[in-house]
Amino acid sequence: MNGDLAGELKVFAGRHSKALAKRVCDHMDVPLGDARTNAFPDGELFVKMEEDVRGRDCFVVISTCQPVNDNLMEVLIFTDCLRRASASRVTIVMPYYGYGRQDRKDEGRVPITAKLVANLITAARADRVMAIDLHAAQIQGFFDLPMDHLSATPVFLEYFEQIRDELGDLCLVSPDVGNVKVAEGLANLLGGDLAIINKQRISGSEVSVGNIIGSVKGKTVLMFDDMISTAGTICEAAQLVMDKGATKVYAAATHPVLVGMAMQRLAAAPIEKVIVTDTIPCDERCDPIRGKLVELSVGPLIGEAIQRIHHNKSVSALFRRTAAMKR
């Protein structure tokens, strides 16, 4: 990096995203910014910059994962703190965008909370937002400020190319219709067939997996999604493809939300490996599936994107060789 510009760049981290922010900073060879977040006994949060940020280009890495509302408030307070400390630009880096599944009115008298979150961040006077693999690409349009939607596909692609011989005769299976373009892109990049599973959501925690379109007999199945939440979909889909003659199953997802019965389901499911990224920390809660779990880091990807934004270079150039975004 140019020395003068490097001095203007600062990266800060929320309480639950420090490990990822450190990997981002290591990639850029810059120190993690000095700031602290304290929680008062009544639950209120307090953010303080412990160094000068006047005129600096500031990036704040906070995934709005569990505890979602605490992390969201930390995003807003961090933004306000940096604004009042005269930062020249504030970019909020949300590797995981919480409330992203509430992106439309699919029935009467329900909110569009993904848009509300965008409004809150805009009202806090952020200049720019960066996220990875949004649940729906349309969320980009919820922001009235620049929004960089990154794809974790290059991170997964590098890993799967390293173990391509191990995968053998490959079939990319989309666990739902909305993810078909991503699965198709990966099938083309890795050299494999494509199959689609028909899924129906019954409730927020329950899904029904129906038929499979395409053949998986005698093949290694790779299922890819933007997140694994309760793991109901991925585990039912894994059992379905095994019943249809698949030899083994790999499950990959950008965001390891992993709540509810997810650990028990994944531990018992006929899944060889669960490959995720560190957009959400895989801490001790993941111990029940540690033997199956592969955690890849998006730190270098975010670091490269931050450098490009800082130097006013193209971010989209990072994704010339990638699968399509989920719609």
* Dihedral sign, Cα of residue 65, residue 255, residue 90, residue 138: negative
Q: Check whether residue 219 and residue 284 sit in a common domain.
A: yes
Q: Check whether residue 143 and residue 22 sit in a common domain.
A: yes
Q: Check whether residue 214 and residue 273 sit in a common domain.
A: yes
User: Residue 11 above 50 pLDDT?
Assistant: yes
DSSP string, 234-249: HHHHHHHHHHTT-SEE
Instruction: Return the pLDDT at 206.
Output: 58
Tokens of 306: 């931050």
Q: Check whether residue 160 and residue 146 sit in a common domain.
A: no
Question: Identity (one letter) of the amino acid at 138?
Answer: Q
User: Residue 179 above 60 pLDDT?
Assistant: yes
Instruction: Return the pLDDT at 6.
Output: 43
CA distance linking residue 322 with residue 327, whole number of Å: 15
Region for residue 218 given its phi and psi (left: phi exceeds 0; alpha: psi -120 to 50; beta: otherwise): left
3 state SS of 158 = helix
What is the rounded average pLDDT of the residues 195-208? 67
User: Residue 327 above 60 pLDDT?
Assistant: no
What's the burial of 12, exposed, middle or buried (CB within 10 Å: 0-12/13-18/19+)? Answer: buried
Mean pLDDT of the chain: 92
* The residue to which tokens 């006047």 are assigned: 54
Q: What is the pLDDT of residues 13-51, one digit of tens each?
A: 999 999 999 999 999 999 999 999 999 999 999 999 999
Instruction: Return the pLDDT at 3.
Output: 42
Q: Check whether residue 17 and residue 143 sit in a common domain.
A: yes
Q: In what order do the strands lie in the sheet with 293-296?
A: 206-213, 193-203, 170-174, 220-228, 248-256, 273-277, 293-296
Task: Decide: 85 and 49 in contact? Cβ < 8 Å.
Answer: yes
Give the CATH number, domain containing residue 70.
3.40.50.2020
Instruction: Return the pLDDT at 2.
Output: 42
What's the burial of 152, exposed, middle or buried (CB within 10 Å: 0-12/13-18/19+)? Answer: buried
Q: Check whether residue 253 and residue 287 sit in a common domain.
A: yes
Number of domains in the chain: 2
Q: Check whether residue 73 and residue 92 sit in a common domain.
A: yes
Angle subtended at Cα 253 by Cα 217 and Cα 232, rounded to the nearest 5 degrees: 70
Instruction: Return the pLDDT at 4.
Output: 44
326 assigned to some structural domain: no
What is the rounded average pLDDT of the residues 106-123? 97
Instruction: Return the pLDDT at 25.
Output: 98
255 assigned to some structural domain: yes
User: Residue 7 above 90 pLDDT?
Assistant: no
122 assigned to some structural domain: yes
Q: Show the domain range for 237.
A: 153-296
Q: Check whether residue 117 and residue 172 sit in a common domain.
A: no
Instruction: Return the pLDDT at 181.
Output: 87
315 assigned to some structural domain: yes
82 assigned to some structural domain: yes
User: Residue 304 above 60 pLDDT?
Assistant: yes
- Burial string for 180-197 (b: 16+ CB within 10 Å, else e) reads bebbbbbbebbebebbbb
What is the rounded average pLDDT of the residues 212-220? 94
The band of 198, judged by pLDDT with boundaries at 50, 70 and 90, is confident
Question: Whole-prediction pTM value?
Answer: 0.92
Crossing angle for the helix pair 18-28 and 299-310, to the nearest 10 degrees: 60
Q: What is the 3-state secondary structure (H, E, C) of 261-320?
A: CHHHHHHHCCCCEEEEECCCCCCHHHHHHCCCEEEECCHHHHHHHHHHHHCCCCCHHHHC
Instruction: Return the pLDDT at 1.
Output: 41
Closest CA to 240 of 159, 171, 184, 166: 171
What is the rounded average pLDDT of the residues 213-233? 94
Percent of the chain with pLDDT strictly greater than 70 = 92
Q: Check whether residue 288 and residue 159 sit in a common domain.
A: yes
Report phi then psi at 55, rounded to 5. 75, 5
165 assigned to some structural domain: yes
* The residue to which tokens 């490009």 are assigned: 308
CA distance linking residue 81 with residue 53, whole number of Å: 10
What is the rounded average pLDDT of the residues 139-168? 96
Instruction: Return the pLDDT at 42.
Output: 97
* Residue 84 CB contacts under 8 Å (≥ 6 apart), including other chains: none
The band of 176, judged by pLDDT with boundaries at 50, 70 and 90, is confident
* Residues designated catalytic: 199
Q: Check whether residue 88 and residue 164 sit in a common domain.
A: no
Distance of CA 60 to the CA centre of its chain: 16
Task: Decide: 63 and 20 in contact? Cβ < 8 Å.
Answer: yes
Q: Check whether residue 21 and residue 70 sit in a common domain.
A: yes
325 assigned to some structural domain: no
User: Residue 219 above 60 pLDDT?
Assistant: yes
Q: Check whether residue 133 and residue 230 sit in a common domain.
A: no
327 assigned to some structural domain: no
